[in-house]
Every structure is written in structure tokens, then in C-alpha cells.
Amino acid sequence: MIKLPEPVEDIVVNLLRLANTKLPADIGWALEAAAGWETGEIAYTQLGAIMDNVKKAEHIGRPMCQDTGIPVFYVRGRFDSGIASQIARGVERATREIPLRPNTVDPLTRENNGSNLGQGMPIIHYIPTDDDFTEITVLPKGAGSENMTRLAMLNPADGAEGVKRFIIDSVLDAGGRPCPPSIVGVGIGGTSDVCVEMAKEALLAPLDSENPDPVLQAMQEELFVALNSSGLGPMGLGGSTTVLGVRIKKAFCHTASLPVAVNIGCWATRRASARITDNGVEYAQGVEL
């Protein structure tokens, strides 16, 4: 077990503050590039309003979007089971201190206890490794984009063309609802649960990093061009910036299956990681899991 230089609870508050108030640099660059090629007046106004808002949020240290989402955590490296309760305390404190919007409710009674905790919360994915660090990543996921999630159990005969068709239809059918220009997270393969998990994990990688798999890299580029040629545009009001990036992960699957999942990230795909070693804590805003 790594000896932690500061309490996990404090690190989690820092992570949630960083993620919610400062847009990852790679997404900022993608927005700037988009503003450079957008020609439509409405589309350009939307991108301008987004970039203006990002600057202001960072400057005054407040959440860039009122939907501070449900924080999804990824813990990688060396850790012990006590980390879950420490993360929970961090979430509760961050909700009061930053503040975050209390979003978690009972799914049936819709009762909100105001803490962003509750049964099954916070959501934490564990990836134990032999590395000499503990890495905590948070992806605060807003509902506008999360509600557009789709899973298809395609037939193997549908092939790569079927996979691409499903991804394009999922993004375009969502229209303006997930706050485009979006980042499209895709999982291909695995079982249904793993497929959806991969689609979300894909959102964690910086947009300017190459996919380690050249076939997936090519597919990402092809889908990027196709989606930005669709005409959907920022906020679904028309234009040539529908997506800022497409990120794909894959895993082997059953010979009779071809699962595909799409998890859309809004333009404000907020992420932050803390890598904790004996030497201290290093923060970053994009990570390849």
C-alpha cells in the first residue's frame, strides 16, 4: 500500500473542483479549432457562448455547468478497500464546499438526500495493478448526455459497417439533447456490461492522443468526418461541428455476438486524475486507462 501524502478525502475534493471548474485543455483546443471552421452565424454564436463560459468558470472557480453530474470514479494501481469510504466523504464535502448540485435521488421515490450519496453511490471502478502509485480519476457525468447512451447486440454478420451505422445513428438521433458538439465514447465487443463500461472509459483519453490500435484510430477519424458532415451542429441548431472527437475501445467478444455501445460526453466532458506516489500528488485532466 502506498503511504498517502494527504488524505484521499482532500484529494477527491480537489479533483471534483478541478474537473468542474476547468475544462481539459484538449477539449478547449478542439472548441477553438471548431470556431475557426464554423461558418453559420447561429453555430458560431453557440461556440462563442461556450468558450466565453469556460473562461469565466475557470476565472471565478465555479462549476462551468449547473449539472455537475454523477461523479464516476476510477481507482487504479495500489489501494486498499478503505478507499471507498474516503471517496464518499470527499464527494459529500465537495457537494457542500464547491458547491455541486445535489443530483442523486432514489430511482423510484425520487427522494433527494442532498449529499450526492445514497445506495450504490459513489460509483467506483477498480483497476488493481502492481504499479507504485494510486491513481484516482473522476468523470462527472451529466444526465443530458448520459441519457443518450445506447447498447446494441448486433449480429456478427453486421460487421464493421453495422457498427459504424449504429454509432452514427445513435449520435444523430440524440439531436441537440446531449449538448453537442459532443465527444463520442464507443465500446466494441466484450459482454453487454463490459461494452457499456468501455464506451464510458473511452471518454477519459485526451482528444489529441492517438488510439493505440491503428484500426480503431482510422475508424475514429472516419466517424469524426462523417458526423461533422451531418449538419446537426452545436446544440442541434445546425452547423459543421457536431462532435469534437470520437474515442473507441474494444475487447474480444463471443463468436455469436457483436456488442456496440455509445456513451456520449457533452462538450463539457469533465475529467481529472490524481496520481499519488511517495513523492506527492500529480494532477492531470486526461488519462488512458
Partner 1 sequence: MKVLNTPLSESDVRSLRLGETVFVSGPVITGRDEMHIRALEYDKNGEPVPDDIRGATLFHCGPIMRQMDDGSWRVIAAGPTTSARMNKLEPEMIERFGIRAIIGKGGMSPEVADAMRRCGCVYLAATGGAAISLAEGLNSCRGVEWLDLGMAEAMWRFDTQKFGPLVVAMDAEGNSLYQRVMDNLVRDI
Note the residues at the interface with partner 1 (CB under 8 A): 42, 45-46, 49-50, 52-53, 56-57, 60, 62-68, 99-103, 105, 110, 112, 114, 143-144, 147, 161, 164-165, 168-169, 172, 175-179, 222, 226, 229-233, 235-238, 266-268
User: Minimum distance from CB of 228 to partner 1 (Å)?
Assistant: 10
Q: C-alpha angle 156/201/44, rounded to 5°?
A: 100
User: Minimum distance from CB of 207 to partner 1 (Å)?
Assistant: 17
Pick between residue 118 and residue 131 the one whose CB is nearest to partner 1. Answer: 118
Helices 8-21, 83-97: inter-axial angle, 10-degree rounding: 50
User: Minimum distance from CB of 222 to partner 1 (Å)?
Assistant: 7
User: Minimum distance from CB of 43 to partner 1 (Å)?
Assistant: 10
Tell which residue, 198, 183, 203, 204, has the closest CA to residue 250.
Answer: 198
Tell which residue, 289, 208, 204, has the closest CA to residue 251.
Answer: 289
User: Minimum distance from CB of 179 to partner 1 (Å)?
Assistant: 4
Q: Which residues fall within 8 angstroms of residue 31, CB to CB, at 6 or more apart?
A: 47, 50, 51, 54, 181, 244, 267
Pick between residue 106 and residue 278 the one whose CB is nearest to partner 1. Answer: 106
Please give the Cα distance from 140 to 67 (Å, whole number).
Answer: 9
Pick between residue 85 and residue 229 the one whose CB is nearest to partner 1. Answer: 229
User: Minimum distance from CB of 152 to partner 1 (Å)?
Assistant: 16
**Phi/psi-derived region of residue 114, left when phi > 0, alpha when psi is between -120 and 50, beta in every other case:** left
AA letter at 211: N
Pick between residue 22 and residue 78 the one whose CB is nearest to partner 1. Answer: 22
Pick between residue 230 and residue 277 the one whose CB is nearest to partner 1. Answer: 230
Residues in the chain: 289
Please give the Cα distance from 289 to 198 (Å, whole number).
Answer: 10
Pick between residue 33 and residue 42 the one whose CB is nearest to partner 1. Answer: 42
